[in-house]
Amino acid sequence: MPAVSKGDGMRGLAVFISDIRNCKSKEAEIKRINKELANIRSKFKGDKALDGYSKKKYVCKLLFIFLLGHDIDFGHMEAVNLLSSNKYTEKQIGYLFISVLVNSNSELIRLINNAIKNDLSSRNPTFMCLALHCIANVGSREMAEAFAGEIPRILVAGDTMDSVKQSAALCLLRLYKASPDLVLMGEWTSRVVHLLNDQHMGVVTAAISLITCLSSKNPDEFKTCVSLAVSRLSRIVSSASTDLQDYTYYFVPAPWLSCKLLRLLQCYPPPEDGAVKGRLVECLETILNKAQEPPKSKKVQHSNAKNAILFEAISLIIHYDSEPNLLVRACNQLGQFLQHRETNLRYLALESMCTLASSEFSHEAVKTHIETVINALKTERDVSVRQRAADLLYAMCDRSNAKQIVAEMLSYLETADYSIREEMVLKVAILAEKYAVDYSWYVDTILNLIRIAGDYVSEEVWYRVIQIVINRDDVQGYAAKTVFEALQAPACHENMVKVGGYILGEFGNLIAGDPRSSPLVQFNLLHSKFHLCSVPTRALLLSAYIKFINLFPETKATIQEVLRSDSQIRNSDVELQQRAVEYLKLSSIASTDVLATVLEEMPPFPERESSILAKLKKKKGPGAVSVELEDGKERGELNGGGDRGGDAAIAASNASTPSPSADLLGLRSAAPVSGAAPSAGSLLVDVFSEAGPAASSAGVNDDGFLSALHAPEASDSPLVEGPGDSDSAPPSAASEDPAPPLPESDELLNKFVCKNNGVLFENQLLQIGIKSEYRQNLGRMYLFYGNKTSVQFVSFSTTVSCPGELQSQLNVQTKTVEPLVEGGAQVQQVINIECLTDFIDAPLLNIKFRYGGALQNISLKLPVTINKFFQPTEMAAADFFQRWKQLSQPQQEAQKIFKASHGMDTEVLKAKLLGLGTALLENVDPNPENYVCAGVIQTKAQQVGCLLRLEPNAQAQPGEQMYRLTLRSSKDTVSQRVCDLLAEQF
C-alpha cells in the first residue's frame, strides 16, 4: 500500500470529529452536523472548483455523518469523481464512500462501473485491489453482470500479482454467493483449481475458499481439486514450523489453510486413486499423531490452532466412514478431550462423538466412554455441555446399555435445567420404547418419567404408552396394576391421571379380583382426582366411567349417580355436559349386549412410526442431518409421523407402535407405512425382532414375510420387474428415460457388501440412506430419501428395475413414494426382495425429481448381492476339510491372489468376514493366521453351500502384503461371484 503523505492527515476532519465528541447533548450534535452539512453543500455548489484533497475531506465528513446515523442525500457525484484520481488516498475514500452509501439501484452505477473497469485494466495492483474490494463490498447483481466475466481472467492471468489474485478470488466468491447464475467458470475451471499449487500461500488460502464454495454446488466440475488438495495438505502437515515461517501461527504451520483443505475434502467421497487415498490417510494419521505430542507452547493460541486442525480432520474421518482404524483413533482422541479443563473442547468432543456413535466401526469405541459422559451430564456447569452429553448418551444407546442410560437420564431429569427437560423426556421415552425387551420395564419407565417430569411429558408420550399397552396383551395386567398403585400417591400429575383413566377403563377387570383393587375401589380412586383435573382430562375420566359400567355392572348405580349430579349434566362446559347426558342415557336404556358392543375393548392400533420421534425432531430442528445405525437397528434422532392422539378414551389414537422403519437420515419422517395389523406368527416379526418384542412391520399378514409379492392390492404400487415396465412409474414421474448408472455405482455397491446400513448416495441436493435385513431367501430394504435443501422437490419418483436375466433371478416389489418432498424433509420407501436363484447383477434404482425447475435424473445400483442371502454354518475342523475335499472339482473353486489395499488389522478382517454373512470358524485352519468361513446361500430354487479360506501374508513389508482368497461352493457361478465381491473388500 502506498505511504500516506503528511498532508493527507485532513486536519479539518479531525477538528469536526473532535467537535462532535465534545457536544454535551443530542441537540448540540445535530446543530453542529447541520452546520457542517450546509458548509459542505455550499462548497460543492460553489463556483470555485475543489481540488482532490478538499473533495476527499468533505466526502470523508459526509461518510462520518452517515455512520453517526444521519441521512446523506448529496455528495455521491463528488465521491464518484474521486475514483478518477491518480492518488491512492483520494481513490480509496471514493471507493469507501461508494461501498457504504451507494445502493445497487443508484443511477450513478454506470459511472461507477466505468471507473472500476478503468482501474481493473490499469494493471496498477493497488488500484486493481481497490476496485475488486468495492465490487465485493457492493456485491450487487448489476456488478456481477458487469464483471463476472472479467474477474476470472484476472485471477488466472500469469502476470497478475499475488495480492491481486487474493482479492480477485475473494471478490469472485462474493459475487458467486450473491448471483450464482451469473458466475460461470466454464473454461477457467481447471486453471482456478490449479491455484491450489500456487507458490504464494495467501493465494492458495483465498482460492480454496472460492473452490470450496464452487465445488459444493458443482462437485463434478471441480473433482480434480481432490488430488491437489491432498498434495498440498500433505506438504503442510509434513512440514516443520520453520518451513513456512510467514504462515506459521504459534508453531502450527498454516492452520487456516489446513482447516480449509480438510473442509474442501469433505465435499467429496474418499479418493478413488489408491495413491491419493493412501497419502490422505497418512496426513490424517500424522494429524492424530501430532495431537498426542506435548505442546510446543503454553499459549492458548497454539492449542487453539492445533485443535482446529484436529477437529476438521476428525470431521473428514467421520465423513468418509470407511477407515475403521482412523475412526477408532479419532474416538480415543476425543475421549481424552472429554475430561479437558477447557469447556469448549469438552463441548466439541461430545458433539463430534455424537456423530462417531453413528458409525458401525466406532460405535463400540464410543461406548467405552459411557461413564465419563454420564459424569459430564451430572457435573458440568455449562448447560450446553450437559445437553451435548445427553445427546451423546442417546446416540450411544443400544440394547446392551439401554437400562443404564435410561436410569441415568431419569436420575438427571430431577435436577435438569428447564430448557432441556422436554427434550430429555422425549429421548427417555424413545429409548425406553425402542430397547424394551421387557415391556413391564417400559411401563415402569414411562410412569416414572411422568412422576419426575410430568409437566414436560407431551401428549405424544402418554398416547404412545397407551397404544403399546393396548397392542400387547402380555403387559396389560401389569400396566393396570402399576397405574393403580401410582394413582394412590397424594400428589399425582394430571398426565398420570390420563394414563390411569384410560388403562383402568380398558383393563381394570384384570386386577379387579384383588379386594384391594376391586371395581369400586378403582372408581373411587379415579373419581378422587376428578375435581383437580382440567376439562380434557375430566372428559377422558367420564369415558372411563362408562367403560366401568360395561366391565363392572355392580358399579352402575354409583356411576349413574355421579353422571346424574348437577355438576355433570348441568356443567358449564358443553363437552362435559354432553358426555354426561349421553353416557347416562346410554347406561339407562341400552341392553347389556348393546352396551358391550358399543363399549367393547379398544382394538389394536395400526402399525405406524412413533409420533414421539416427530416431537423430538421438532425440538432439534430440520437442519441436523445424521445417519445413526447400530447392528442392524436404527439409532439416534429418529422421526415418526406427527400424529395427533385425539381423545384417547373415545376414539382410536393415531399414535403408533414401534416399527422397523425409522427416520434414518434424521430429517422429517416419511408417511407411515399402512397395512394390516401384525400377526404373531409372521416371519417378519422374527426377522426384525431386534426392534423389540412389540415391533412388527405394517403390510404383513398371516401368509408371511413377502405375501404381498404374490397378491398386490390394486392401490399399491405395481411390481417393478424390469426396465421396460413403463407402468411402474408413478404418474408424477418425469417422462425422460432413466439415466445410466453413475460411474461410481459399483464402488458404492462394494461399500455395502459387508454391511447393511449406511448412506448409499449423497450430493448437494439429496441424501439416500439405506437399512436392510435378510433372512433365508427373503429381504426387506428401507430407503430414506432426504432433501438437503430448503426448496421442495416436485414430481419425485423412484423406479427399481431388474435388467436382463435378473428378472428371473430376483423378485422385487416396491411401494410408491410421495411425489412432493419438502425442504429439509424425508420420504421413505420399502422394498421387498425374494431371491429365486443365484445372480450376479444388481437391481437398478432410478430417482427423478425437479429441483428449481430442473430435472434431476440419478441411477444407482441397489446393494443387493448374492452374499446377503448367506446363512452362517458352524462346523468342526474335520467336517470342514471333509467338505472342502468334496468340493474339489475345478469349476467349483474360485481363487484370487491380490494386493492388500488396507492394513491387515485382525479385528477389521474378522468384522468384514462376519459382515459377509458367513460363520467365522475358529481353530480350524492349521495356520492360525488364516481365516476360514462357512455358510449356505439360500435361494428359492436351491441351497448353495459355500466354504471360504483367506490367507494373508502379514509378515511382508507394508505395501507388499498380499492375500490369497479361495472359494469353493456347489455352484461355480456362486464361487466366482462371492470371490469377486470379497476381493474388493481387502
Instruction: Please state, in angstroms and rounded to a whole number, the distance separating the CA atoms of residues 599 and 605.
Output: 16
Quote the cell numbers at residue 184. Answer: 460461470
Integer angstrom CA distances of residue 977 from 451, 780, 880:
58, 22, 21
Instruction: Please state, in angstroms and rounded to a whole number, the distance separating the CA atoms of residues 560 and 543.
Output: 13
Instruction: Please state, in angstroms and rounded to a whole number, the distance separating the CA atoms of residues 778 and 756.
Output: 14
Q: Which residue has the cell 439501484?
A: 105
Instruction: Please state, in angstroms and rounded to a whole number, the distance separating the CA atoms of residues 437 and 440.
Output: 9
Instruction: Please state, in angstroms and rounded to a whole number, the distance separating the CA atoms of residues 18 and 645.
Output: 68
Quote the cell numbers at residue 3. Answer: 505511504
Strand partners, 810: 835
- The secondary structure of 310-323 as a DSSP string is HHHHHHHHHHH---
Q: Which residue has the cell 373415545?
A: 650
Check the annotation: does 58 bind a ligand: yes
Instruction: Please state, in angstroms and rounded to a whole number, the distance separating the CA atoms of residues 212 and 201.
Output: 16
Instruction: Please state, in angstroms and rounded to a whole number, the distance separating the CA atoms of residues 925 and 530.
Output: 73
Residue 640 contacts residue 611 (beta carbons within 8 Å) = yes
Check the annotation: does 61 bind a ligand: yes
Q: Which amino acid is at 470?
A: I
Three-state DSSP class for residue 457? coil
Check the annotation: does 11 bind a ligand: yes
Helices (H) and strands (E) in the chain, counts: 41, 18
Instruction: Please state, in angstroms and rounded to a whole number, the distance separating the CA atoms of residues 363 and 351.
Output: 14
Integer angstrom CA distances of residue 248 from 43, 229, 244, 323:
51, 19, 6, 30
Instruction: Please state, in angstroms and rounded to a whole number, the distance separating the CA atoms of residues 457 and 413.
Output: 12
Check the annotation: does 249 bind a ligand: no
Instruction: Please state, in angstroms and rounded to a whole number, the distance separating the CA atoms of residues 728 and 813.
Output: 10
- The secondary structure of 367-394 as a DSSP string is HTTHHHHHHHHHH-SSHHHHHHHHHHHH
Residue 343 contacts residue 385 (beta carbons within 8 Å) = yes
Residue 498 contacts residue 462 (beta carbons within 8 Å) = yes
Instruction: Please state, in angstroms and rounded to a whole number, the distance separating the CA atoms of residues 954 and 941.
Output: 40
Instruction: Please state, in angstroms and rounded to a whole number, the distance separating the CA atoms of residues 915 and 175.
Output: 49
Check the annotation: does 802 bind a ligand: no
Residue 484 contacts residue 522 (beta carbons within 8 Å) = yes
Check the annotation: does 492 bind a ligand: no
Helices in 83-200 by DSSP H: which ranges? 88-101, 109-120, 125-138, 141-147, 151-156, 162-178, 189-193
The count of residues in the chain is 986
DSSP β-ladder status, 931-938 and 870-872? antiparallel
How would you class 577 by CB atoms within 10 Å of its CB: exposed for 0-12, middle for 13-18, buried for 19 or more? middle
- The secondary structure of 865-890 as a DSSP string is -GGGGEEE----HHHHHHHHHHT-SG
Check the annotation: does 53 bind a ligand: yes
Instruction: Please state, in angstroms and rounded to a whole number, the distance separating the CA atoms of residues 748 and 860.
Output: 8
- The secondary structure of 793-844 as a DSSP string is BEEEEEEEE--TTHHHHEEEEE----S-B-TT-EEEEEEEEEE-S---S--E
Residue list, annotated binding site: 11-12, 43, 53, 57-61
